[in-house]
Structure 1
Amino acid sequence: MCRLCDEGRPPLDCESRRDFLKASLVAGAAAASVFAATGVASAQDAPQGTGTDGRRVLIKGGHVLSMDPAVGDFATADVLVSGRTIEAVGPNLDAGDAEVIDATGMIVMPGFIDTHHHQFETALRSFLADGILVNDGLPENAINYYEYILQKFSMVYRPQDVYINELFGGLAQLDTGVTTVMDVSQIHHSPEHSDAVVKALQDTGRRAVFGYFEGWGDNAKYPGDARRLKTEHFSSDDQLVTMVMGGEIYIPGYEESWKIGRELGLPVALHVVGTFGMAPTFDKLAEAGMFGPDNIFIHMTGMSDMAWEKAADAGAHVSLAVPIEMAMRHGMPPIQKALDLGMQPSLSSDVECTMSADPFTQMRSTFTLQRAFANEKALAGDKDVPKLLTSRDVIRFATLEGAKGLKLDTKTGTLTPGKEADIILLDATAINVTPLNHVPGAVVTLMDRTNVDTVMVAGKLRKFRGKLLDVDLPKLTSELEASRDYVFEAAGVPKDLFRM
């Protein structure tokens, strides 16, 4: 058995590195076992054929919002699932002996897609509710994301902390109807940390894109680990968890990350935030023709018109985190700028240390902000008033556009026969919605996580009749709280339930 280095980690080429990982993930492995334990609800309570052996399940009699113009929408219709895929969508489908899920009174639609979430921060929920992104020199803004989350908390995470945070955050999003996420982990302090992220994303049982952001913190000591991760975990594209390469331009040596990502055929994702002084570097990349359709630009606040136009011309994708951008002083969310250039953004939750990661918050914030901009112009007598976003528009941002941005639109994002069955059922009979008068409007302006009745990922039920399946939530909660206690103590940050 090899000797650990001073930081408590074996060197990358240590023969017992995987043994060390197994030992360090004891807590995580215990958490994973809850999927077979007595939990919040048992899979025995749900139809058994979903996602296995090509068996068929009929989701019958719902209000179907397909988000595919070629399929259409239906006041009352069925969705037939065969194994992992959608076989048919339409009224009164003949499904033979398929198992039936009664969707009467339910809105049946594609699962939501979150294109930017830092799941490793789950144990830090609400800690930074009143904080901002960086310290601007004012005493009231001393507690900020850069210093506390990135420089204090994240630096003390062990692999087992990474695992339980990632797992719990992913399950919480499944509970609220998010069937796909890009997890921008930024916690790759060692290969063991990276492997813990991948394991948690796999164990969560939803579609995920593992965002490997090389070069942050201690992981700069492991150059090229992206290649190992791609080989060991992502050799096939036909799996629920895929990979994206991080290319953060505020980190020295980012050019190598872009190069590695493109060599491996991975999308290259990065935060683009004026608050961090990124505009000059971003302009240089734009002028050098470095942008491409493989780029995912997160936030895009404070960038020049030239860089925006180059990004649009290159077919790059923009992920907006509207509530966070407004609350944390990233800059005004550039929703109208993207739309004016013909770019259709996706929506993302960003950080739960500051704001909820549920998709209803993201959709409502985007909907109301863009309309506020346009309405102010109209009330001021401006003749060049932008077209108002509709509720269907923002649902498209939260589904199909997210799938396009993550290069997953051949698999998910719409209820289209041949795509994989990432489907949610939303309760339109609930007290906060009934009587139902407008399906897209109800989803965006009225609903919340309590309306998420059933969630299916690749044909497999993960939530049924309001309960996550085969998840021992009390056990996971206890492990998350223990991780939080460790992280606060190790970071030297006192816990105070009433003050930051």
Structure 2
Amino acid sequence: MYPTRRSFLAGISAATVAAVATETPILNSEVRASVKRPNAKKRPILIKGGTILSMDAKTGGHAKGDVLVEGSLIRAIAPEIEAADADIIDAAGKIVIPGFVDTHRHAWEGQLRRVNSNSADLHDYLEGTHLSFATKYRPEDMYVGNYLTSLGCIDAGITTIIDNSHNSRSIDHARAAIEALRTSGIRAVHAPGAPLAGTWQEDSWYKDLEALQKEQFGDEDALVTMAMMTAPDPEQWAVGRKLGLDLVTEFFGKEMSDLLPGFHKGGAVGKDNIFNHCTGLNDEAWRIIAGSGVRVNVCPRSDAHWALEGGFFGYQDAIDHGVRPGFSVDNESAYSGDMFMEMRMALYLQRSAAQRRKFSGDKAAPNPIGMRDVLRAATIDGARVAGLADRTGSLAEGKEADIVVINANDVNLYPSSNALGTVAGAAERSNVETVIIGGTIRKREGKLAGVDMAKVREATERSREYLFDAVGFKQDMFAEEFALEK
């Protein structure tokens, strides 16, 4: 999918970031204030009386308990906590979980949601994104895409994403993408990568990558950190390793499987590699992945929708080789952007395939996975893939307060007889009542905090109108296929 060498952006100064913030029409002053003052003193947050599903072995589960947040951290988890002057969130009848982690999202495509819904394969995806709209993106379009995607993630309880940003065409494009992530308040690993088509700044990739790291990512404790999106290319990996960056790569199929032994023999495969998809890999490739500590994410819906290799996600292959993968949405150009659907798709695809093997007499058929397995992939395993398991992905004292409250009193969830089944098997985006990221409330009482949706929609419509006109795409609400005007 990717050429071996591409460049994408140059260094970004504080002054130019401020300039973009001033010019971008959808910034909200309340959101910006919270982003710019992360160390500002604020009241503790006390989540009272919820069922705590921590995904942490030491914390365990509490049928009824409290969570105290001070600053950006979880300070205490106990059956009952008292905290003077705390901002109380009533969690009675609700379920408290760690925020979901989406380990592979192309956030820049936000305004292209469902533009290519009936597509059948990878070629259709490329036609509807990289080979058309992507080539016309301006900085403001990058901002809109990243901001809209981030808000959608937060609304659905996704508190962390690995932003696979493979459309950074200039300094201004990169500047806008990073600023949008920061403004939204999401936790993100921003991985700049090469556009697949069209013109862009190519000549100074390696130098500019270093400049970007120095000028934009000096704070390791910030919500937005940096990785590098690459081709399956040891030369690019060497550049990223020199900068200490994790290496995010779309990796699938026979051709890439066949390349991996040579990469491994040359010492180019390691724990800093993150492989997306991992469909259609042979056993030797999986053994190398497992033995080298490569982190893997799988895409239950994407691989089926876009017909990657055999069209079946790589979860079972990963588990069979001792690799615990994270889940990823990939993109929203054909389907929804929530983790609830990924968990359910994974659960039933795995169970269906396992039962088919068992029914056919396969003595080595795997056991069916359960609700905890898919929730683990969507939380703590995803955090490990992102390199953030020490900060997020589970609820534990001393970890970052990335917390989601699911309202199990809602009519579609009540009564809740099992917390795991309610969250992984029944809950929806509409049941996400509260979202906290790094100790800041980003969604409360079912509404995004400090977001002017009228301005978001206005900016989105401007971007879509421009992009549609630029490539000759006429929107048809009932179209059966993606088509550009001839």
1: distance between equivalents of 2:19 and 2:60? 51
Q: How much does 1:219 deviate?
A: 3.9
Distance (Å, rounded) in 1 between the aligned partners of 2:467 and 2:355 = 45
SS in 2 for 1:64: strand
Query: Alignment partner of 1:151: what SS?
Result: coil
Change over 3 Å in CA distance of 1:294–1:17 after alignment to 2: closer
Secondary structure at 1:497's aligned position in 2? coil
Q: Corresponding residue for 2:28?
A: 33
Give the distance between the partners of 1:151 and 1:327, measured in 2 at CA.
19
Q: For 1:419-458, what per-residue CA distance to the aligned partner results, in whole angstroms no more than 9, with x for missing partners? A: 0100000011111111111101111111110000000001
Cα distance, 1:387 vs. partner? 2.0
1:367 to 347, 350, 359: 347
Shift of 1:132: 3.3
Which residue of structure 1 aligns with residue 332 of structure 2?
352
Aligned to 1:261, the other structure's residue is in SS state helix
Structure 1 segment 396-415 matched on structure 2, within 5 A: 396-415=376-395
1:129 corresponds to 2:124: no
- What's 1:317 paired with? 295
Q: Which amino acid aligns with 1:456?
A: I
3-state SS of 1:113 partner:
strand
Q: Structure 2: which 5+ residue stretches go unaligned?
A: 1-8
Amino acid at match of 1:352: E
Asked if the contact 1:67–1:400 (Cα under 8 Å) also holds between the matched residues in 2, the reply is yes
1:213-252 paired onto structure 2 within 5 Å = 213-214=193-194, 216-217=196-197, 218-224=200-206, 225-249=208-232
| Aligned twin of 2:246 | 267
Q: Offset of 1:33 from its aligned partner?
A: 3.1
Compute the displacement of 1:300 (Å). 0.7
Partner of 2:452: 472
1:296-311 counterparts in 2 under 5 A?
296-311=274-289
- Aligned residue identity for 1:281: L
Equivalent residue number for residue 6 of structure 2 = none
Q: In 1, are the aligned partners of 2:340 and 2:424 still within 8 Å (CA)?
A: yes
Q: 1:378 to 1:465 in 2, by over 3 A?
A: same
Aligned CA distance change for structure 1 residues 360 and 156 (closer, same or farther; 3 Å)? same
**Separation of aligned partners in 2, 1:242 and 1:481:** 29
Indicate the SS of the match to 1:388: coil
Q: 1:216 to 1:134 in 2, by over 3 A?
A: closer
Q: Secondary structure at the match of 1:32?
A: coil
Aligned partner of residue 385 in structure 1, secondary structure = coil
Contact 2:53-2:95 within 8 A present in 1 as well: yes
Distance, in Å, in 2 between the alignment partners of 1:482 and 1:171 is 18
Identity of aligned residues (%): 36
Counterpart in the other structure of 1:46: none
Long gaps (5+) in structure 1: 1-10, 38-42, 44-49, 136-143
**Mapped contact 1:180–1:208 kept (Cα < 8 A):** yes
Shift in CA distance, 481/35, structure 1 to aligned 2, threshold 3 Å: farther
Kindly provide the CA deviation profile for residues 114-162 of structure 1, in whole angstroms up to 9, marking residues without a partner as x: 0110111111111111113434xxxxxxxx1123311111010000110
Tell me, in whole angstroms, the C-alpha distance in 2 between the residues paired with 1:471 and 1:436: 31
Q: Is the 8 A contact 1:25 1:160 kept in 2?
A: no
Match of 1:100 among 81, 88, 97: 88
Structure 1 residue 220, shift from structure 2 partner: 2.5
- Looking at structure 1, the residues matched to 266 and 434 of structure 2 have their Cα atoms a distance apart, in angstroms, of 47
Partner SS, residue 278 of structure 1: helix
Deviates more, 1:315-324 or 1:18-27: 18-27
Corresponding residue SS for 1:270: strand
- Superposition map of 1:21-60 within 5 A: 29-33=24-28, 35=30, 52-53=40-41, 55-60=43-48
What is the rounded CA distance, in whole Å, between the counterparts of 1:22 and 1:92 in structure 2? 44
- The match for 1:5 is none
Partners in 1 of 2:471 and 2:251 — Cα distance? 28
1:94 to partner: Cα distance: 3.0
Q: Which amino acid in structure 1 is aligned with residue 308 of structure 2?
A: H
Tell me, in whole angstroms, the C-alpha distance in 1 between the residues paired with 2:326 and 2:39.
Answer: 27
Q: For the structure 1 residues 283 and 427, does the alpha-carbon distance in structure 2 shift closer, same or farther, using more than 3 Å as the test?
A: same
What letter corresponds to residue 58 of structure 1 in structure 2?
A: L
Rounded to whole Å, the distance in 2 between the matches of 1:22 and 1:384 is 59
- Say if 1:20 and 1:89 are closer, same or farther in 2 by CA, change over 3 A: closer
Partner of 2:405: 425
Cα contact 1:190–1:222 (8 A) shared by 2? no
Counterpart contact for 1:245–1:257, Cα < 8 Å: no
Is the contact made by 1:246 and 1:257 (CA closer than 8 Å) also made in structure 2?
no
Residues 166-221 of structure 1: per-residue CA shift (max 9 Å, x gap): 10110111001000011111111112111111111111111111011147542423
Q: Which residue of 1 aligns with 2:234?
A: 255
Q: Which residue of 1 aligns with 2:271?
A: 293
For the 8 Å contact 1:51–1:460, the answer to whether it is kept is: no
TM-score (norm 2): 0.90
- 1:32 maps to amino acid: L
The answer to whether 1:497 aligns with 2:468 is: no
Task: Give the whole-Å Cα distance in 1 for the aligned partners of 2:53 and 2:302.
Answer: 28
Query: Which amino acid is the alignment partner of residue 260 of structure 1?
Result: V
Q: How many residues were matched structurally? A: 465
Residues 28 and 450 of structure 2 are in contact (CA less than 8 Å); yes or no, is this contact kept in structure 1?
Answer: no
8 Å contact kept, 1:118–1:183: yes
**SS at structure 2 position matched to 1:201:** helix
2:107 equivalent among 100, 108, 119: 119
Q: What's 1:40 paired with?
A: none
User: 2:341 corresponds to which letter in structure 1?
Assistant: T
Name the CA distance, whole Å, in 2 between partners of 1:196 and 1:127. Answer: 23
| Cα displacement (A) at 1:284 | 2.8
Given residue 214 of structure 2, which amino acid in structure 1 is its aligned partner? T
Q: Do the aligned residues in 2 keep the contact of 1:360 with 1:447 (CA within 8 Å)? A: yes
Distance 1:418 1:129 in 2: 42
What code does the residue aligned with 1:399 have?
T
